[in-house]
Amino acid sequence: MQNELIFVEVKTRKSNFWGNPENFVTKQKQRFLIEAANQYINKIQHLGDVRFDIIAILYENSQTTIEHIENAFYP
């Protein structure tokens, strides 16, 4: 979509023993990202849509899995 600003959080883990990488984008982390995004949006006076994505990377047993989660959370 034209004029859409996308903020991306990248999480990498060597194992999913404690959970998948995207599970580590906690509510507190989301609030921090939203606050930082709002400051940037105000600074550049962006008037278009905004989206928050997560790139989850898992290195496990010599295999790499990359997942792109669009609209992972909302402000």
Provide the 8-state DSSP code for 5: E
CA 12 to chain centre: 12
Nearest by Cα to 25 from 43, 42, 7, 39: 7
3-state helix, strand, coil in the chain (%, to 5): 30, 35, 35
* Whole-angstrom distance, CA of residue 16 vs CA of residue 19: 5
Question: From first to last of its 75 residues, what are the pLDDT tens digits of the chain?
Answer: 678 999 999 999 999 889 999 999 999 999 999 999 999 999 999 999 999 999 999 998 889 999 999 999 998
Task: Please report the pLDDT score of residue 1 as a whole number.
Answer: 62
Single pTM value for the model: 0.88
